[in-house]
Structure 1
Amino acid sequence: MSPALSRRTLMRRLAGVGALTLGLTACDPTGIEDGATLPPPQPGGTPGVRRFGAEWEKHLRTVMSWPASENIWGEQLPDVRRDVAGLAQAISAREPVVLMARPEQQDAARKACGSAVEVVPIAVDDLWARDTLPVFVEEGGTVKGVDFNFNGWGGKQQRGNDAKVARTVLAKYGVERVETRLVAEGGSFETDGEGTLMVTESSVVNDNRNPGMTRDQIEAELKRLLGVTKVIWLAGVRGKDITDAHVDCLTRFAAPGVVLLDQAFPGTPPDVWSRSADQARAVFKDAVDAAGRKLQVVELQQPDPDKITGRGDAFVSSYMNFYIGTKGVYLPKFGDARADDRAQQILKQYFPGREIVPVKIDAIAAGGGGIHCATHDIPALG
């Protein structure tokens, strides 16, 4: 069996598209059950004013994806599927969850996840729903989806099915597709819901996604697409992981004006990731958000690498890749009891009305991702 294709290293082979591709015509032409569209337009929306809501706002549902092939994960596939199922079960206890799965894998996915998770036939390649689905915005009392033209994280992997997921989901849910020439992934963006966007330059201002475009040009297009008015640019890291350092493993909003920042475990030798966090800290020192507020920075320390239960060169031990659900906040449980508890207490402080739900995701983390990477929220209106 081949090793897992990692999102944290580039030392893996490309997955062969021929072995993975299942034409979308193999899916049920309607896919999602009748009546499962988004709600009708709501009164009160301002025509022409677009808004990218914060993740802590109410969700209609969470969408996830069933990892499809041993060609991607090798002998780790059963463990990864177990992690995905466990995460889907945890979230579905508190809000609706839709799981996309290849048609021939629907029954296995449904058996693994349980009846509370709705499994729909959509041909997918892997579990990274955050990146393959559109970015949802609100405009004029309706939800729209910005299709950022997923291209396998800058062409590093060939993902024939995942490249079609955004269009397929928008069509099945009856959501208007917003087109753009920009190439990016959902994990590239973090917003406070009040007009502020955080982005790493390494993942967007990059010729493997947007050749020939300057940062200013990209910023202007992001403002048009997402309705944001302030973009805070962080340097990130180029070429050291498959995402080129998405912002959602580095820093997250906990509230307007408050950012959580990844911090290496004390004594860990400096590397490109800790230097990236240092650079972000320096940017935050002088930055203001769209409302003119100075940013409060709260550091969220990684667990002791000698105490975590997961292993692997690609293992992501950042707590930053958590997911904010309507009634719960889901964060990784790494096995360092003291660090796990500290992370939970910090999130509890900022999300007091939500249950803090630690989830063990060692197999997902070993593949270079986390809980946020594996989930994508569709916002509710009103």
Structure 2
Amino acid sequence: METTLTPRALGFAMPAEWAPHAATWTAWPHDEEQWMGYLEPVRREFAAFVDTLARFEPVHLIVADEESEADARARLNSANVTLHRIPHNDLWLRDSGAIFVRRGEEVALTDWEFNGWGGKYPAQLDNQIPTHMARILGGKLWRAGIVMEGGSLEVNGQGVCLTTRQCLLSPERNPHLDEEDLEGYLRDYLGIHSVIWLGEGLEGDHTDGHIDTIARFAREHTIVSAVCEDEADPNYWPLRENLEILESLGGFQIVKLPLPKNPLYLEETRLPPTYANFYIANGAVLVPVYGDPNDEKALEVLRKVFPERQVIGLMARNLITGGGAFHCVTQQQPVGRIWAGG
């Protein structure tokens, strides 16, 4: 692994999500077969999400083809959305998109291999999205050369990262790397100097336990941790163990955030709905809700955590059939001048 020309060697690091954004990148849902008949209601929910997000910051929206572009234009009402025609497999830009790094007022991009969450889904087109993003922006793109998904990492902008062993140590990702090796890549490409390892994620999460469904930084020293209220639920003990790890750290305020009360299923498969998959935008926090008895309870928790932002609940009951919600579909571009290298 080269170190002399890595982002860290040149003073770049990944900022926290609450740092000011120049824009958000996302992609339009487009594959009817992939969405198992839910494409129409998913598009309705997604349009409401994009229009809401565009009230707070510019949106770069990737569309796969002519039909997707026409559909997006017909549904969206905001003029604060720029469309880019790029072939892609799916809309989960948190995992497939470039991860931005910043040095002072300069911003560049990092590219990590994306293999469809350990080979579960086609990902060849999605793996090219960072290259397209760098081309559009004219920015420097570092290629880390290992598999890593943005949803598996949660940073506080001060060099601390949350992640799970279930995901990062999955043998379908980087079987030749151990914890120390992975920490080295995170240090050199994202400027992370301290990794907090949690255990397992949610039942039904095909990402193998992404951190952005269970534990999130809200401020440098505040962590929101998902908890399950039903001891008979398979999620209860893994989330309790993660909570105990976080509470044992010291130096952090831990805020408990309930899971939805009622489980959701797609045919026989349990889905991973969670309020922790919120997205922190400029002046707002966009929170997935599901028509669940715990929706308002979760929103109240997050309003107390983010008093300086509008906390807005938006329906994601159909979107979650794809396995994720608002954080999973977004990738923030920090404010700054795009650095082309040199």
Calculate the TM-score normalised by the size of structure 1.
Answer: 0.80
Deviation, structure 1 residue 69: 1.2
- Provide Cα deviations, 1:54-109, integer angstroms capped at 9, x if missing partner: 11111001111112212311311111111211110110112111210013121111
Once the 2 structures are TM-superposed, how far is the Cα of residue 166 of structure 1 from its aligned partner?
1.3
Is the alpha carbon distance of 1:300 and 1:115 closer, same or farther for their aligned partners in structure 2, counting shifts above 3 Å? closer
Q: Which residue is 2:82 aligned to?
A: 118
Partner of 1:64: 26
Letter in 2 for 1:144: A
Report matched runs for 1:265-344 at 5 Å: 266-267=229-230, 269-271=232-234, 273-288=235-250, 294-305=251-262, 312=266, 313-336=269-292, 339-344=294-299
Mapped to 2, the partners of 1:284 and 1:72 lie a distance apart of 36
Matched, 1:380 2:342: no
Displacement, 1:240? 5.3
Q: Does 1:209 align with 2:173?
A: yes
Tell me if 1:348 matches 2:311: no
Mark the runs of 5 or more structure 2 residues left unpaired by the alignment.
Answer: 1-7, 338-342
Task: Compute the displacement of 1:268 (Å).
Answer: 5.0
- The 1-side partners of 2:299 and 2:69 are apart by 34
Bigger shift: 323-332 or 65-74?
Answer: 65-74
Does residue 103 (structure 1) correspond to residue 65 (structure 2)? The answer is yes
One-letter amino acid matched to 1:378 = Q
Q: Spell out the pairing of 1:157-168 with structure 2 (5 A cutoff).
A: 157-168=121-132
| Alignment partners' CA distance in 1, 2:206 and 2:273 | 16
- Indicate the larger mover: 147-156 or 67-76: 67-76
Quote how far apart the aligned CAs of 1:183 are: 0.5
Q: Which amino acid aligns with 1:112?
A: R
Q: Identity over aligned residues, as a percent?
A: 30
Q: Give secondary structure in 1 for the equivalent of 2:327.
A: coil
- Superposition pairs for residues 5-44 of structure 1, below 5 Å? none
Deviation at 1:118, TM superposition (A): 2.0
Aligned length: 326
Residue equivalent to 2:5: none
Q: Is the 8 A contact 1:314 1:368 kept in 2?
A: no
Distance 1:322 1:263 in 2: 15
Matched ranges for 1:140-289 at <5 A: 141-237=105-201, 241-264=205-228, 266-267=229-230, 269-271=232-234, 273-288=235-250
2:281 partner amino acid:
G
Query: Are the counterparts in 1 of residues 201 and 213 from structure 2 also a CA contact under 8 Å?
Result: no
**Which whole-Å CA distance do the structure 1 matches of 2:289 and 2:161 have between them?**
28
Distance between the aligned counterparts of 2:137 and 2:328, measured in 1?
Answer: 21
Shift of 1:126: 1.5
**Structure 2 counterpart SS, 1:90:** helix
CA distance 1:371–1:193, change in 2 (3 Å): same
Could you tell me how far apart the structure 2 residues matched to 1:237 and 1:350 are? 22
Alpha-carbon shift at residue 286 of structure 1 (Å): 2.6
Contact 2:205 2:272 in 1 (8 A): no
Mapped to 1, the partners of 2:204 and 2:131 lie a distance apart of 29
- Structure 1 match to 2:340: none
* Pairwise CA RMSD: 2.1
Show the counterpart of 2:48: 86
Structure 1 contact 66–124 (Cα < 8 Å) conserved: no
Q: Output the CA distance in 1 between the equivalents of 2:258 and 2:182.
A: 32
Structure showing the higher strand proportion among its residues: 2
Check whether the contact 1:251–1:259 (CA below 8 A) recurs between aligned residues: yes
The 2-side partners of 1:301 and 1:238 are apart by: 13
Contact 1:328/1:354, CA 8 A, preserved across alignment: yes
Secondary structure of 2:43's aligned partner: helix
TM-score, normalised with respect to structure 2: 0.89
